[in-house]
Structure 1
Amino acid sequence: MEVAVLNINGKETGRKVTLSDAVFGIEPNNHAVYLDVKQYLANQRQGTHKSKERNEVAGSTRKIKKQKGTGTARAGSVKSPVFVGGGRIFGPRPKDYTQKLNKNVKRLARKSALTLKAKEQSIVVLEDFSFEQPKTKDFVNVLKALGLDAKKSLFVLGDSNNNVYLSSRNLKASEVVTTSELNTYKILNANNVVLLEGALEGIESNLSK
């Protein structure tokens, strides 16, 4: 699959690159995509939820009232869950939500996601660029030139570029990652995936194994 290489002004450079069929032209595996997205979202959970149970609530252990003769239910402690301020029954406890997934399944899922984007013609190949200093306005100008200012976009760099990353950090609809940070969820979550020329070799070498 051949794609024209654009510059940051949105114009064609006259060059074309061939996207590998082994990465961008496979038969998508929807179940692998589902497993990889589920694992990514599960691993984002901190699992620090916690509520105090009866033995953790501060309060007197004195028996509230005598056992019999009051005409009401017996009660032994103000820390009982039936009272306001008492402990919570079966409340949430810290939990590790981390899931594991086979590397081959992850690789298949990412290739499937890139293939889906390629079929939708949602992949843009951009020549490598950088900024002299971090400036959000410069990154917004690139988005406007590519017609992506009103869409969610994912920029994939070959190597980390601090100026480009910092220029995009304030924009909620755009994200900049390197090839090592690329995952299925981020690919599918974006309307358009912008691949810099320097990232193509890394993506294809990582996923064509």
Structure 2
Amino acid sequence: MSTTHSDLCSAPESEYCQSTPDIGMVTPTHTMSSTDRMEHSCSCSIHKIEAKDTPPFPDQTFAIRERNTGRYITLVEGNLCVRENIGDQGGWHWICVETQGWLGFRSPVSATYMGHDTNKNIWAEHKHHKEHEYFCARKHPHGGYMLLKRHDDELWKITVSNDFRLIETTGDGTLWDFVKVSA
């Protein structure tokens, strides 16, 4: 059975709460506040996630969480989307890097960087950190960070589409929390 990008990102979260042959994910269900340290009760490899108002900084690993919903930017079978149940496969870890002052986010699983295509989609396709993979984060007065993407001579905001994919916009962006991941 083939699963499309849209199916992986928009399927109900309950479909991924147990291991399946198609997806192979075991995911805990939990709620986290933005100031608590969470101990997971599952047997997965996620032991502690420190959640506080942490700015993204090079050489640190983060889970990037949508502030209003608690969903995480996740790489699911090569497709970038936001997911509530992040599982134990590591597709939600992002190593922050810096090139010429620009931030980038590399998946330790695929070694690909978040970037954008020519249709305003955010993806993780390339194993280099060049102009299409340049980001910056701006602190928001209501908490969290706006994730901004270099788009020609402008900075566009990153937001979540109706089918849970990441896209660029000149309108309102999404607020993100950068949750430093520790073992």
Q: Which bracket does the TM-score occupy, shorter chain normalised?
A: under 0.3
Q: Which has the larger radius of gyration?
A: 1
Higher strand share: 2
TM-score scaled by structure 1? Answer: 0.23
Higher helix share: 1
